[in-house]
Structure 1
């Protein structure tokens, strides 16, 4: 065993304590007293046989006097120094562990007792005079005992010759001072290079196993002194120190883990490179979260977190030791170990888990009560039976623990991933429970877990089973609305209905029944069956009044009926349209009721009014609701939405109450109207345009801006204001705040001048695009006067010429006649 310190030889040369020889004398006196006492143990016999006893006393005294020189001789021998020189010193090399193993004996034929002895060991490197290690090794020695000691070298043993010698000294309390060292043994040579071949380059140690954070020394031996050797660690050139003529060493401190396959070190000269792999292990961690449990009171399972992998192919070993029983077992897994419970009624266990690898040991302990650590096995055979629309009976089985122990089982009912019911049941072998208040045609999950009832510690694993309740007739009438159009005085009704929610459908809807009843002819019924999943149908009626009923049907039966009434004549559509503004939540709106007997209200709109056909939507409200907020994921900014509010009478007849239009968010106009120019003069011209459809407007048009630009840079005319466009050009702008005004006369212009104009609408969000200006040039100031004079003169001359021509023709005719 390698020592932890080095001591100078002078310290060991100091005398050791001795024991006084008075103890031997004391022992002798005690024996003497015992002998004398023995002689006096039978006084009556002595009295009767006085002469024989006197002779025996003389002989006994003579015998004790003869023994006294022998004991005195023994005391004198022990008082002498015992220079026991070590013999048969043998040194062997373990290249794998880089260790020197020493074996020797201490032979002294004169003594058979055990002595405490100190062995001083010297180790030299390269030559005997170069001592690199001095250590004192203390032990108790028997006669002819073979002793062992090992020393681990930091430098690979193949890289240097080592010499070993030792001497001894008895360090026993029975030996008096002075205590002297024996003579040194002869030097024993340990040469690992004898086994090397004639290769020109060697690198050691081979496949060295080291722990992360430790230091390691690598060396190379070169047979060719003239060769230039370069060495690399992970392809990085490094430099070492020369130990001998052909030996160089490289010391790496605090080595780190790089990869599981090791860290590469190699050297190369003129021949092939030689190298080694340093296998670096991460530090073995102490096991964490160490705990034990049992599922059946027969086998204990202890688990732990082993921590990070050390990175070695050979995994650490784990041993489980129990101190009360003194038993231990080697674990087969790195994070779990099984322990068989004996039948000796042992309840308390004191476990120690020992993790061990090549470098170190780690241990952790736990005090465990068997009864307090029962983790039952998961239940099994979970099965729902007698499942109806609203009830279901669930059964399951459990593994028994002991002969009389009960389990506490927890039954959970889940719907849509959430626990909606939870029940605790005491179970020994079989469990059963009736689940009630279930919804028809609904998928549920039943889950069961159990715990030890005598001492709750941990729930078992969950087992689960899905089941679906039976269908029931739909519980709610469909939400129905209608759209009525009149063709040639006859109403055409399109009926719409919303699919029932799963909560109210109570099963798969197969079809819808539509019953049309003519109120003027009660015996006249028309029944339509519309297969699901259709949600509308069209009915053509005459000018009578009708009551229409819609029911949804599943495999069990029909839902309650929803009724709407249709009049044979158009209602009042002349209702003024109001405006409203949308918010982030939708369109808030309110209205004033017309009748006190209203049974409700319906708000109707289209989700995508810019697309045809209209996707009709509606919202039913109770008779006390006179305001609401209409929201939809289909609402978009810049789209105009039109809402119609109906009041429902007691006869289920719908009367239009109000119309409203609004934008969820107004946007600036995306284009400008097409403008016509007319009445161009030298001082004015007239602009006119048409309104574009409201469906294409991105906001409520509040008015128009008329822009006028002059190339001469003249001042803005009356009513215009100076403004700057986005290109920093100067422009004059006139504001028309009446959205119904569609004409504008531009006045006070200069003759023979070039102008540009633009008309753009504006909303609360901004104005239209400021591009596509049109150009116009005013005529000369007198050109219109000249036109008014010349045109009549030309016309007059033309008339005279015609008259003259006609007159000449008449004269020619007269001459011919004459």
Structure 2
């Protein structure tokens, strides 16, 4: 019983102690707060430091500090900092970088602690000081470097009393510039920097209603280096190379480090440092840094396996011959004398040829099989044989010319024409003559009389010789070329005899393609030294061309700069033997056919005066057929041209006369009036049966003032007169009365008497008389025509009439009426027509 009571007392005591410690810990948690808060800034970064209150030391679990950041009293960011029990009573720090420059707006931070379920109050709301604005708008951040590809926020602080208008960057599109307000006087613009400026910096400009100001943003790229390769050139140092992709127009200073030490970029683009070159791999680190960023590269290599040799120095020709030379050079590094080296020698003589030489410390090489009297250019590069890494650069080139030698053996062939054998050879090329060719020598002998040789020299410009030989015999012909160094090796060809018993080969057809001929034939066991293919135009004189084919080939392609389309060629295939060549096959064909098969005519131009015979044949795959022959005589063109000139002249004269005739016909009235004006005819009025005699008066158009004496004839119904037909009840009027004149009726007339009434009308101006009056002044007509046996006068009888009387109203015309008779013949000659009242134009009185 006492034991039980004692145990209960102990449990109660422990429980009370536990409650005490728990209440004490909770009390300490309630009083655990930050103290000694400080706030600082660096650029756009906020740095906050603080300490724990002493009451926090009693905590045995993680303590959490909560932080909140405000920009212009607007919560922008929140964060937490965990403090373990072993970190309590130490100084704590926290930093945060704002997207805004701290000068743009006020930034404040507040802090509280949280332990389990207990949280303290917010303590000490710290605010960074904001610079006062000036009289002009200010742009932030200032004097900062920005990397291309980053997002940057610029702000403009507007002075009091001014209104914000615009915030922009030079070189960026205006439509993408959308500033937003973040305070009463602050506007922010976030821009993605996607380009490097062409000038030193990019201007950021802020505009208000009264002023403009800005800042300079330095935008660029960090070093763009990659692909680091480290090697050794002298076995005493390491040199590292890299690729630098981006090349900007702005000079940006870049600092390079190799193995942690500064190094200077060498002209060849590398960075070197003295090191101990040992066998084994090593890590080589390289750093490139500028104001926009830093890049670090590394490479792992065994430098003994990465030897990049320097090029050979002072390459010279020590021995010079016709077909070989010796080259020598030296090394600038003594270590190379102990290396296994291989060198490539690049020999250029119009074409490049590379040969390789090997040796320890290799310093010389012999070049063989060169062309005599030929110019060469040689360069050398080398590398290590074992663990080859890379070739050195080529040495400086050396030029030399080999010594001359005798020409190479000529390429000789033959051509059989009628009873002649033409020996021909190809002109030696420059790399075959080995010096200037002076002459050729041809010798020939009968195979049965070899001791008897014929010899002749051929001048340089010729490369063929026609020989008149006995075609029944076989001959051996030798040709040599000679230069200053001597004669070439003899080229020999055997001329076969033209034995009529030899079987002739048939000629087959071949079709050209691609500007040449593709030729193939059956192999011949007699072709011990190969085959010869020659070709020549089938008709006319020609110089044969040929090509030699190796023994193992039975096909070849034939091309020549002398080939012409539309010209038929004969091709022959020979077997090359120890004796005379043997003809195997013969072909004929065209490189390309030129007459269109659908064509039915051809024009021959630039022919001379002569007689020509034209033959037209059809060409088919098996040959020619259907020849048609015609003959033409081309005469002089003199007669043709003469006739042509005569006809052209006659045509011109006819055209000119036609033009003049047409012109005169259209203006004949005026021409007649100008040359000999007509006298006006009188108006004849018949009496009795109203029969009138019509007289036609030609006249020319004049102005109204010129028309003085006017005659007018009115015709009634009746028969046509002078081919003019009058319709019934339609008067035929020759002229209308001009202004200022009236019509006076005349008395009717009856046959056989006719009355002629003439009225003299003065000119309206009174100053100019009519043409009639100018010829016969103040006259009246008395025309008397008698019928029957009476003989009429040959012309009208002119009687002097009464002169014009002057009146107060102007001149009045004096009218005379004369009567004359007309005989029956004249009356029958004229077609009768009934008369109506005939009028004479009289001037109106001035009062009207």
Distance apart, 1:339 and its partner CA: 1.5
- Within a 5 Å distance, the mapping from 1:622-633 to structure 2 comes to 631-633=558-560
Structure 1, unpaired ranges of 5+: 1-77, 109-115, 172-176, 322-326, 676-688, 704-737, 744-818
1:86 aligns with 2:86: no
Task: Give the aligned partner of residue 237 of structure 2.
Answer: 299
Q: Distance in 2 between matches of 1:154 and 1:649?
A: 93
How do 1:573-588 residues align onto structure 2 when only pairs under 5 Å count? 578=507, 580-584=509-513, 586=517, 588=519
User: 2:486 corresponds to which residue?
Assistant: 557
Aligned to 2:327: 394
Q: Helix, strand or coil: the match of 1:553?
A: strand
Shift in Å, 1:469: 3.5
Of 447-456 and 363-372, more deviation after overlay is shown by: 447-456
Match of 2:607 in 1: none
* 1:318 corresponding residue in structure 2: 256
Paired residue for 1:157? 102
> Alpha-carbon deviation of 1:425?
0.8
Closer, same or farther in 2 for the Cα pair 1:431/1:558, shift >3 Å? same
Shift of residue 408, structure 1, vs aligned partner: 2.2
* C-alpha distance after superposition, 1:677-701 (max 9, x if no partner): xxxxxxxxxxxx975367xx87679
Are positions 1:190 and 2:121 aligned together? no
Contact 2:439 2:483 in 1 (8 A): no
> Pairwise mapping of residues 28-43 of structure 1 onto structure 2 (< 5 A)?
none
Structure-2 residue corresponding to 1:641: 568
| Displacement of 1:243 | 1.3
Distance in 2, matches of 1:346 and 1:564, equals: 68
2:359 to 408, 415, 425: 425
TM-score of the aligned structures, taking structure 2 as reference length: 0.51
Q: Separation in 2 of the partners of 1:224 and 1:625?
A: 102
Once residues 484 and 336 of structure 2 are traced to their aligned partners in structure 1, the CA distance between those partners, rounded to angstroms, is: 50
- Give the Å deviation of 1:301: 0.6
C-alpha separation in 1, matches of 2:247 and 2:549: 69
Quick one: distance in 2 between partners of 1:515 and 1:346? 71
Which structure would you say has the larger Rg?
Answer: 2
Residue number among 663, 673, 676 corresponding to 2:590 in the alignment: 663
Q: Is the 8 A contact 2:375 2:400 kept in 1?
A: yes
1:251 matched to which residue of 2? Answer: 190
Change (3 A) 1:101 1:650: closer
TM-superposed CA distance for 1:79, in Å, is 14
Aligned equivalents of 1:648, 1:365: Cα separation in 2: 70
Match of 2:435 among 488, 491, 508: 508
**What do the CA deviations read for 1:187-222 (whole angstroms, capped 9, x no partner)?**
454123x2x4312x4443346533344332122233
Cα distance per residue 1:155-186 (max 9 Å; x no partner) = 133322344677999x9xxxxx9999899558
Q: Look up the SS of the partner of 1:692 in the other structure.
A: strand
Structure 2 unpaired stretches of 5+: 1-27, 55-61, 604-611, 631-848
Confirm or deny: 8 A CA contact 1:124 1:163 kept in the other structure: yes
1:380 shift after superposition: 1.9
Report how far residue 346 of structure 1 moved. Answer: 9.2
Who is 1:617 aligned against?
544
Q: Give the whole-Å Cα distance in 1 for the aligned partners of 2:233 and 2:196.
A: 42
C-alpha separation in 2, matches of 1:165 and 1:390? 95
Asked whether the 8 Å contact 1:263–1:279 carries over to 2, the reply is yes
CA–CA separation in structure 1 for the residues paired with 2:576 and 2:64: 118
Residue 497 (structure 2) pairs with residue 497 (structure 1): no
Q: Which residue of 2 aligns with 1:730?
A: none
> By how many angstroms is 1:460 displaced?
3.4
Alignment of 1:409-420 (within 5 A): 409-412=342-345, 414=347, 417=351, 419=353
Deviations 1:746-804, CA, capped at 9 Å, x for gaps: xxxxxxxxxxxxxxxxxxxxxxxxxxxxxxxxxxxxxxxxxxxxxxxxxxxxxxxxxxx
Number of residues of Structure 1 aligned to a counterpart in Structure 2: 568
* 8 Å Cα contact 1:565-1:652 kept in structure 2: yes
Tell me the secondary structure at the aligned position of residue 424 of structure 1. Answer: strand
What residue number does 1:721 align with?
A: none
Secondary structure at the counterpart of residue 626 of structure 2: coil
- Quick one: distance in 2 between partners of 1:226 and 1:623? 99
| Separation in 1, partners of 2:31, 2:512 | 111
Q: Separation in 1 of the partners of 2:530 and 2:47?
A: 107
- How many angstroms apart in 2 are the aligned matches of 1:312 and 1:185? 48
TM-score (norm 1): 0.53
1:424 Cα deviation after fit: 1.3
Residue 605 of structure 1, aligned match among 513, 536, 549: 536
Q: Distance in 1 between matches of 2:575 and 2:302?
A: 75
